[in-house]
Structure 1
Amino acid sequence: MPDATGEGTSMTAPNLPSDALSDFAELMAQEQDLTGRRDRIDPEKRRARRRRGLIVTAVCLILLLAACGGYVWWALTATVAPPEVTTQTPQAPSVEAAAITAAPGAASAISISGADAYLGEGASGIWSSSGAGDPRPIASITKLITALVILDAVPLASADDPGPTITFTEADHDLYDRYYVQGATIAPMPTGTSMSLHDALAAMLIPSASNYAEALSSRIFGSQDAFLSATRTWLSAHGLTGTTITEPTGISPRNTSTPTDLLTIGKLAAAQPTIAQIVATSSISLPGAGQLHNTNGLLGTAGITGLKTGTLGQGTYSLLYTATLHVGAAEPLAVTGVLLGGASRESVNTTVIATLDSIRAGFHEVPLASSGQEVGAISTPWGSTAQLVIDEDASIFTWSDTPIEVSMQIETPATYRDGSVVGSVTWTAGPNTVTTPVTIQGQIDQPSEWWRLTHPSELSR
């Protein structure tokens, strides 16, 4: 509409709908311009607007700081994965088998009491043997059987019991000459002299006097036939079916036995107090008989405590023996052994000593581990490491190549500090078991704050 001058201020409405957006923007600009002019005119409104902006900015900053602080708190307090522990059970050492010495061409057998836990359940029977097991001449070992049969008929109350008195007659004295001619071992037996049964048995067993063997057996049983009958009964009662006795001295090669039977005879003799005492005596002086020396030259050597030698000549040297071996076990070993048919007395003695030495050497301390030996490792994602080590030296007492079993147990500790005990290693061989602690060598430190903040994927969510 025209004003007073004739010119009008026109606001032309858009003719087309496409001009609506442009017109709206123009209107908004005009409104903002108008508002700005008002603000410039009204300072109070300007200050309110500024406050609103500051509040919004502050809220945003608080929210941002809260988010960052929450992450930091979580990262610094979150649980980390426990250290990784790897272990390697130490290997059991291998040990060579003990070699038991045997005499070539001879027959031998060994029984050991008190070592079944080490040597096996058969140790007290025939634990080791060599050569044929058929009967062989036993020579003067016969006298042990004669003594056992006599004491079965006339028991003595103890090892020191003298027993009945034996008075020797002229017939007894004549035995001295008869066995002398045969080349047998003899001891003086003057007519009319008296001797206790205990001492007469000593004269028979220590120097192996054949005249005493016949004189005593005839005196106790009345005749040799009666003695031999009692002997057969005694052998049968003890299951000694492999043994044949035809006379009391062993001078006859028809007196034979097997290694198996002789081990039983040896144990019976060792268990008889009177005989055990006598055969352990290296020499004795007896009235009428004089000074007598034991034919067993090994007494006191290599632990040997008895029993009886036997010799019929070249290639027939024998020894039935007992020995006590201190090998380091809780109790000493009681050995009963026999060797039949050795080439000479020296070879028999050498072989027996070597046999006992080989048994003794077969018992040994086997080293298992040394202090500081590594058996595992500890590692963490943040690079802290330590080792698992055996805390002390370990060894085990065993026999020969007895298998050694080993096991290891490791527990999770509360803290992974240097010296902390975290488990043990156990070795077992036969009846013996040894256990040693496993400790931490080094220390696992906690992860640093920086590592926590920069490794969120390693933290528990």
Structure 2
Amino acid sequence: MPDATGEGTSMTAPSPPSDGLSEFAELMTHEQDLADDRDRITPEVRRARRRRGLIVTAVSLVLLLAACGGYIGWALTAPVAAPEVSTQTPQVPAVEAAVGVVPPANASAISISGADAYLGEGASGIWSSSGTGDPRPIASITKLITAMVILDTVPLASADDPGPTITFTKADHDLYDRYYVQGATIAPMPTGTAMSLHDALAAMLIPSASNYAEALSSQIFGSQNAFLAATRSWLSAHGLTGTTITEPTGISPRNTSTPADLLAIGKLAAAHPAIAQIVATSSISLPGAGQLYNTNGLLGTSGITGLKTGTLGEGTYSLLYTATLDVGAADPLAVTGVILGGDSRESVNAGAIAVLDSIRAGFHEVPLASGQEVGTISTPWGSTAELIIGEAASIFTWSDTPIVVTMDIKTPPTYQAGSVVGTVTWTAGPNTVTAPVTIQGSIDQPSEWWRLTHPSELGR
């Protein structure tokens, strides 16, 4: 048809609207193609695909189960974290008050051998002393020095060796009357009496016969001057510079010595077999001299084995003594003591016994607690038990010697009641005692569930 100009316009078909119809048509075409493909897949192909899917699924499941099984196996067998052990030092029994060992009288001292580990060595061999160290009259303790000076010149081969024969003259017999008048201790000595040197020394030391001391020293050395010269040499050779001897009996107050020197002299005398045997004899019967009794009435009391008494009158009673004390230690103690200037023989003797008894009483067994709790053991899975001292024990010690305690605790391989997990050790002086530390109460092993749910506590 012509337009307003009269010219005609050509006609064309309209385009379809863009409302998704084309996309739908394409989808339907694709689905149809897939349907056609399924129709073309054979049953064999479908079965093969199904088998492959099952295999993949099975393999995946196996791998998953293997992973879970590996964890479970590891969790059930892996080591667990070590238990926590806490300890506390065992209580130590209170020690006794210190034992005071102070010898009595104006001057005294004591030395103890065989107990250095308990008591200490003491200064210059003196463990305890009282009074001053000045020289004091020693009275008849002098005769012990006289005997050692004689035996230094005329030795005896053994304790039972009689030695040379001594025959006493009329001049020797006259000494009996001279010392009797002076109030000294004497023993019969008839003119012509013959006895061995050993027996003559016994007559001098056991009853403390002054006439025997002078007669014997004069016969051995030829004169008193020669004897005194030999005595000074003997004292000097043994370093006994605090001792002065002016005559052989001790009747002179100028015969003096210090407690330190006398302890040394006592040890020398106790080490001489013949002298040690003689001074330990309570009585003896000798031809010409008769029955003689020891002036040391303490022999056999409180372990006393010697040595010599000394008396010059009131306020001058003295005692040089030795004793063997069985106090329960590995070996008996050897005690040497001296007391100078006592008021009476009774007070001196009582003082010596008190000293020895106090030493003996100072040694004692200290019981150590059994069953005492010394710690706890706990595990990460919440199980606990006590650590206790598993056996009764005691330690031997002296007086208030400190008792030191140490413990050695190790992680136990098992956690059952009675298992030993370490030791506790007590030390006092030279003695050491050890007792086991054990578990009281059982600690069970961790449960399987705890293991599976606490992987962070495993493998340590």
Could you state the TM-score of these two structures normalised by the residue count of structure 2? 0.84
Query: Is 1:165 matched up with 2:133?
Result: no
Matched-pair contact (CA < 8 Å) for 1:113–1:123: no
CA deviation profile, 1:301-336 (whole Å, cap 9, x unmatched): 111100000111111111001111112222211111
CA distance in 2, matches of 1:307, 1:298: 10
Aligned partner of 1:275 in structure 2 is 275
Over 3 Å counting, the alpha-carbon distance change for 1:149 and 1:457 in structure 2 is: closer
Letter in structure 2 aligned against 1:212: Y
Aligned partner of 1:388 in structure 2 is 387
Query: Is 1:145 matched up with 2:145?
Result: yes
Give 1:407-446 correspondences, 5 Å limit: 407-446=406-445
How far is the alpha carbon of 1:97 from its aligned partner? 5.3
Aligned partner of 1:213 in structure 2 is 213
How far is the alpha carbon of 1:349 from its aligned partner? 0.9
How far is the alpha carbon of 1:161 from its aligned partner? 1.8
Give 1:291-302 correspondences, 5 Å limit: 291-302=291-302
Query: Is 1:307 matched up with 2:304?
Result: no
How far is the alpha carbon of 1:170 from its aligned partner? 2.5
Other structure's SS at 2:380 match: coil
Other structure's SS at 1:447 match: coil
How far is the alpha carbon of 1:442 from its aligned partner? 2.6
Q: Gapped runs of 5+ residues in structure 1?
A: 1-11
Other structure's SS at 2:426 match: strand
Letter in structure 2 aligned against 1:147: A
Aligned partner of 1:322 in structure 2 is 322
Give 1:126-137 correspondences, 5 Å limit: 126-137=126-137
How far is the alpha carbon of 1:191 from its aligned partner? 2.1
Other structure's SS at 1:358 match: helix
- Report the number of matched residues: 446
Over 3 Å counting, the alpha-carbon distance change for 1:23 and 1:346 in structure 2 is: farther
How far is the alpha carbon of 1:63 from its aligned partner? 8.2
Matched-pair contact (CA < 8 Å) for 1:103–1:342: no
Over 3 Å counting, the alpha-carbon distance change for 1:71 and 1:318 in structure 2 is: same
CA distance in 1, matches of 2:120, 2:301: 26
Give 1:217-366 correspondences, 5 Å limit: 217-366=217-366
CA deviation profile, 1:42-89 (whole Å, cap 9, x unmatched): xx9xx99xx89x969999988887776666555444443222222223
How far is the alpha carbon of 1:338 from its aligned partner? 0.6
Matched-pair contact (CA < 8 Å) for 1:244–1:255: yes
Aligned partner of 1:9 in structure 2 is none
Letter in structure 1 aligned against 2:283: S
Letter in structure 1 aligned against 2:385: A
Aligned partner of 2:448 in structure 1 is 449
How far is the alpha carbon of 1:435 from its aligned partner? 2.1
How far is the alpha carbon of 1:280 from its aligned partner? 0.3
Other structure's SS at 2:159 match: coil
CA distance in 1, matches of 2:143, 2:189: 17
Letter in structure 2 aligned against 1:213: A
Q: More displaced, 423-432 or 183-192?
A: 423-432
How far is the alpha carbon of 1:186 from its aligned partner? 1.2
CA deviation profile, 1:77-114 (whole Å, cap 9, x unmatched): 44432222222232444523542432454211112222
Letter in structure 2 aligned against 1:348: V
Letter in structure 2 aligned against 1:394: A
Over 3 Å counting, the alpha-carbon distance change for 1:237 and 1:312 in structure 2 is: same
CA distance in 1, matches of 2:216, 2:342: 30
Aligned partner of 1:182 in structure 2 is 182
CA distance in 2, matches of 1:29, 1:58: 36
Letter in structure 2 aligned against 1:118: Y
Aligned partner of 2:200 in structure 1 is 200
CA distance in 1, matches of 2:16, 2:311: 153
How far is the alpha carbon of 1:247 from its aligned partner? 1.2
Q: Gapped runs of 5+ residues in structure 2?
A: 1-14
Letter in structure 2 aligned against 1:114: G
Over 3 Å counting, the alpha-carbon distance change for 1:411 and 1:457 in structure 2 is: closer
How far is the alpha carbon of 1:444 from its aligned partner? 2.1
Other structure's SS at 1:203 match: helix
Other structure's SS at 2:162 match: coil
Over 3 Å counting, the alpha-carbon distance change for 1:352 and 1:61 in structure 2 is: same
CA distance in 2, matches of 1:312, 1:257: 14
Other structure's SS at 2:298 match: coil
Matched-pair contact (CA < 8 Å) for 2:104–2:348: no
Aligned partner of 2:8 in structure 1 is none
Q: Structure 1: which 4+ aligned runs deviate by more than 6 Å? A: 22-36, 54-68
How far is the alpha carbon of 1:149 from its aligned partner? 1.2
Other structure's SS at 1:367 match: strand
How far is the alpha carbon of 1:223 from its aligned partner? 1.9
Other structure's SS at 1:340 match: strand
Matched-pair contact (CA < 8 Å) for 1:113–1:124: no
CA distance in 2, matches of 1:62, 1:154: 109
